[in-house]
């Protein structure tokens, strides 16, 4: 199953994680930037995977670039 192409709602916290994920950040780096635990970052990524229908981080990155490119800084 491919990622869902329609826009869906992701939380503000997930938006912040996605912005840093699109910059190529690791979970540990994203956690340090946002002052979160790496496990919290993993949870946000997991929630976005479930919401988007993506199967892995690479698909999520591509989905983020296509559907949520406003998060690229």
Residue range 12-71 forms a domain whose CATH class is mainly alpha
Half-sphere exposure at residue 47, Cβ-oriented, CA atoms within 13 angstroms? 16
Q: What is the pLDDT of residue 73?
A: 47
Report pLDDT for 62.
92
Q: What is the pTM of this model?
A: 0.82
Distance CA 7, CA 39 (A): 26
H/E stretch holding 6 reads none
pLDDT of the residue at 9: 82
Number of Cβ within 10 Å of residue 35's Cβ equals: 7
Tens digit of each residue's pLDDT, the chain (73 residues): 456 554 568 999 999 999 999 999 999 999 999 999 999 999 999 999 999 899 999 999 999 888 655 554 4
Token pair 């979970």 in the structure block, residue = 27
């Amino acid at each position: 199953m491919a990622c869902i192409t329609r826009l869906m709602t992701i939380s503000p916290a997930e938006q912040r994680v996605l912005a840093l994920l699109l910059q190529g950040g690791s979970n540990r780096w994203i956690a340090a930037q946002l002052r979160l635990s790496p496990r919290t970052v993993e949870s946000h990524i997991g929630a976005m995977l479930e919401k988007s229908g993506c199967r892995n981080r690479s698909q999520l990155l591509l989905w983020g670039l296509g559907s949520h490119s406003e998060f690229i800084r």
